[in-house]
Amino acid sequence: MTWTQTHERFRLLNEAEAELRAGLPRRLPWTPAHADAFGTPERLAQALRHRWRIRFQAQLDPELSPEDYEKAFADLTSELAPLMDWIDAHAFDQAVDHGDEELADVSA
């Protein structure tokens, strides 16, 4: 993967996360750019889950005091768990063409 491809992939992950945090209803962003970078909506969801798990693990320093560790755990859980639950609780249909933009519908 080239540096340019890596930057594009991170940009798309940031945009997808921002849309999910904004609470846009039951949609995982899916455009031709997402298809180029991730291949399938499932792989985009997998990349988001991986990103959140790494963030969670990286911020839980085992050297923290028990009180600080518990606070960091609670903060991360409140921030990331809803996003992970949202992704994990839904299966993705094939991308549906909506004019110029494709979106992956999320099945409840």
Q: What average pLDDT is seen over the chain?
A: 78
Return d(Cα 60, Cα 16) in angstroms, integer.
24
Summarised one tens digit per residue, pLDDT across range 91-106 is 554 333 333 333 343 3
List the chain domain ranges: 3-107
Q: In which band, very low, low, confident or very high, does the pLDDT at 88 lie, cut at 50, 70 and 90?
A: low
Q: In which band, very low, low, confident or very high, does the pLDDT at 90 lie, cut at 50, 70 and 90?
A: low
Return d(Cα 40, Cα 107) in angstroms, integer.
16
Nearest to 90 by CA among 45, 54, 55, 40: 45
Total-model pTM: 0.70
Higher pLDDT, 57 or 36: 36
